[in-house]
Copies of this chain bind each other. A is one copy, B any other.
Amino acid sequence: MNSDEFRKAGYRIIDWIADYRGGLESRPVMAQVAPGDIIAQLPASPPQQPESFDAIIADLDRIVMPGITSWQHPRFFGYFPASSSLASVLGDYVSSGLGVVGLAWQSSPALTEVEEVTTSWMRQMLGLSEAWSGVINDTASTSTLVALLCARERTSNYGLARGGLQEEERPLVVYVSSQSHSSVEKAALLAGFGKAYVRSVPLDAAYAMRADALEELVQDDILNGRRPCAVVATIGTTTTTAFDPLEAIATVAKAHGLWVHVDAAMAGSAMILPQCRWMWAGVEHADSLIVNAHKWLGAVFDCTVYFVRDPEHLVRVMSTNPSYLQSAADGRVKNYRDWGLPLGRRFRALKLWFLIREQGVEGLQARLRRDMANAKWLEAQVKAAPGWRVLAPVPLQTVCIRHEPDGMSGDALDRHTLDWAARLNQSGEAYVTPAMLDGRWMVRVSIGAELTERQHVAQLWQLCQDAVQEG
């Protein structure tokens, strides 16, 4: 495809996306296909000869689109808000179209320097001090792995340069909670700590980690010859958006030399609102921090901003310096390949840069405030409705609800919950995520798609009430 053909085909793709985004409200939210439906319609083998662009678009419409669950739909209340704001999409289009790869500063200086500026903008927007440096990673999962690797190397005094974890005499221990995201335990296991050395710190009634319990576990490990290494605190847990008490956790951590990693993947976006910053009071005592700009903030996935206090330590753990990547500019520039796992790097900063500029900080703040008000409104409706419960505080945009018919409990209640949530999702009218809390199923309503206005939340609430009647 040459550049003229691209121009023509590109217009078509722009129209196609504009039509899709503009017509979302009349589409089902959840894909209405069964496992294998898409595969069955695609050729089992690749085409030997070129196919026309018409044929590709036709298959996109006919085969792919029925298999799309629309995260941008105004009645998408699943998982987390991942608003791929259209300005951010265009920033990403520039990135793909340029087709540059950031192996080193010299391999496209703008890629590195716009990332440096944009992550600094993010730092300022979040109210963080200048002591933080940011880098864009793909996901929170990867970033948490990086954090725990850095913690491991700090505690072991760079054991990777010797025998790695294989020669440490006293085992290193990581502290998490049962409300930590699934990626946290995964990262600890992949980093080599082993399940035997991952402690789950008990929770308080609001599903937050208890700092006193952390202190007890740490003391016990020290007494038994183990070395406390890191604690992962979550600001806005996945299930209920609970806040681990950072200030108190950091006090324990500081006393015992623990690395403090803060997972604010979802809720971090809210810190662009000064009135929310009490939620992560103490964050300046942490060593590393993640905020997913591809969640509530509205950058198109993937765009996790990973902040660290000590980039030199990060670089020492992550750096490689083969001859074919050296240049005369080294030493005067950032080489982000030494800031994370992958060597190659997309020009991801553009999608964040476009978003922030097109919306302005105030535009982003207004949208988040709208979503929080919508969550409060839903909370009030559910609390006022007989037979319905709100199961956890609603500080942000996630509302955990359950319909509890008179006399129903235990497994029967679980079945009821899963049934009505499945009916709702299968209807295509709205999408919610069932999740477990205290061992029982409930329904998470995660508000914050860019197109979601009060009317859509009201529609959802009506749909929930209808769904429990249809059982």
Known: A21-B6, A96-B89, A145-B341. A47 touches B361 (CB 8 A): yes
Number of copies: 2
CB of A103 within 8 A of chain B?
A: yes
Q: Mark A135-163, 1 if CB is under 8 A from B, else 0.
A: 00011111001000100100000011111
Tell me the minimal C-beta distance from A36 to chain B in angstroms: 7
CB of A462 within 8 A of chain B?
A: no
Q: Mark A231-244, 1 if CB is under 8 A from B, else 0.
A: 00000001100000
Binds B, one of A279-287, A371-379, A431-439: A431-439
Known: A94-B16, A110-B38. A328 touches B359 (CB 8 A): no
CB of A408 within 8 A of chain B?
A: no
Q: Select one of B18, B37, B53, B195 contacting A3, CB under 8 A.
A: B18
CA distance A165 to B171 in the complex (A): 9
CB of A222 within 8 A of chain B?
A: no
Q: Mark A97-118, 1 if CB is under 8 A from B, else 0.
A: 1111101011111110110110
CA distance A11 to B18 in the complex (A): 11
Interface residues of A in 1-60 (CB under 8 A from B): 1-7, 9-11, 13-22, 30-31, 33, 35-39, 42, 44-51, 53, 55-56, 60
Q: Mark A294-331, 1 if CB is under 8 A from B, else 0.
A: 10000011100000000000000110111111001100
Q: Select one of B60, B84, B109, B325 contacting A99, CB under 8 A.
A: B84
Please determine whether B114 and A64 come into contact, CB atoms closer than 8 angstroms.
yes
Q: Select one of B1, B329, B344 contacting A35, CB under 8 A.
A: B329
Most chain B CB neighbours (cut-off 10 Å) among A5, A97, A103, A141: A97
CB of A204 within 8 A of chain B?
A: no
Give the residues in chain B near A161, CB-CB below 8 Å.
Answer: 189, 194-195
Known: A84-B96, A361-B46, A362-B48. A182 touches B341 (CB 8 A): no
Please determine whether A22 and B4 come into contact, CB atoms closer than 8 angstroms.
yes
Give the residues in chain B near A85, CB-CB below 8 Å.
Answer: 1
Q: Mark A113-135, 1 if CB is under 8 A from B, else 0.
A: 11011001110110000000000
Q: How many residues of A contact B (CB 8 A)?
A: 162
Binds B, one of A70-78, A253-261, A383-391, A452-460: A70-78
Please determine whether A165 and B166 come into contact, CB atoms closer than 8 angstroms.
yes
Known: A10-B17, A354-B56, A422-B328. A165 touches B145 (CB 8 A): no
Please determine whether B302 and A346 come into contact, CB atoms closer than 8 angstroms.
yes
Give the residues in chain B near A98, CB-CB below 8 Å.
Answer: 17, 20, 68, 72, 84
Give the residues in chain B near A356, CB-CB below 8 Å.
Answer: 46-47
Give the residues in chain B near A109, CB-CB below 8 Å.
Answer: 31, 33, 35, 37-38, 67-69
Please determine whether B163 and A189 come into contact, CB atoms closer than 8 angstroms.
no
CA distance A124 to B43 in the complex (A): 12
Please determine whether B160 and A190 come into contact, CB atoms closer than 8 angstroms.
yes
Interface residues of A in 197-238 (CB under 8 A from B): 197, 238
Which of chain B's residues has its CB closest to A167's CB? B194
